[in-house]
Amino acid sequence: MIKGFIFDLDGVITDSAEQHYLAWKRLSDEMGWQFDRKINERLRGISRMASLKIITDHNNIQADEDTMQQWATQKNDYYVAALDDVGPDDFLPGAKELLTHIKREGFKVALGSSSKNANKVLQQLKATHFFDAVADGHSVKNSKPAPDIFLHAAKALEVKPNQCLVFEDAKSGIDAAKAGGFYTVGIGPNERVGHADVRFDSMKEATLFEVKSHFKELFS
């Protein structure tokens, strides 16, 4: 029986991928690194430090921990400044409607995001009231594809993994949710999230009616 919903943030509730891209691009341009949208695609759902490692590895750059932290902080400063432009109109189409419907039906709702800026993004969207719990980049040590973030969210909601649906747009996110024993809803193309229990092209298609009809036995 499904009692809880856990949502990833970037790519599910809102599309902050563009702001992440522009912030990494600015840092890379300043540093003279090669960085493009193709590499950016590999950063989807991946933590900040792991993302930086992908970029520096791609550029054959080795740096000590302090330097890596400095670069990550620089990128984050650019990203956080861009978040000031995010507002209540920046939900991905369908996301706000789904949140409204599941709250109305009394399901428990949590966020399960790799981002350390998740609370700021929720505040900008004016979405904080939808969530009974927020698990973010500060909540656990091991990031996706480890299941820790979703296990942390489920614990906060006081529901078991097999009583939860996890919505994710990243391969690493679906891997994480499956490893934790959650039911999974993939948002995006088959190549990325085709291994989810159910997949929708976008949040627009992921209405509560559609979700319930795909997991019929879990909602009866």
Of residues 64 through 83, those in contact with ligand G16 by CB under 6 A are 76
Residue 10 C-beta: closest distance to Mg ion, Å: 4
Write the interaction track for Mg ion spanning residues 39-58; mark x where CB under 5 A is met and - where it is not: ------x-------------
Rounded to whole angstroms, how far apart are CA atoms 27 and 202?
30
Question: DSSP assignment, residue 192?
Answer: H
Q: Which is nearer to ligand G16, 18 or 201 (CB)?
A: 18
66 as an active site residue: the answer is no
- 43 near ligand G16, rule: CB under 6 A: yes
DSSP 52-120: HHHHHHHTT----HHHHHHHHHHHHHHHHHHHTT--GGGBPTTHHHHHHHHHHTT-EEEEE-S-TTHHH
Rounded to whole angstroms, how far apart are CA atoms 145 and 171?
8
Question: 115 touches which of Mg ion, ligand G16, none (CB within 5 to 8 A by kind)?
Answer: ligand G16
Is 117 annotated to bind a ligand? Reply is yes
90 as an active site residue: the answer is no
Of residues 9 through 38, those in contact with Mg ion by CB under 5 A are 10-11
β-sheet bridge partners, residue 79: none
Residues that bind ligand G16 (CB under 6 A): 8-11, 20, 43-48, 51, 76, 113-117, 137, 170
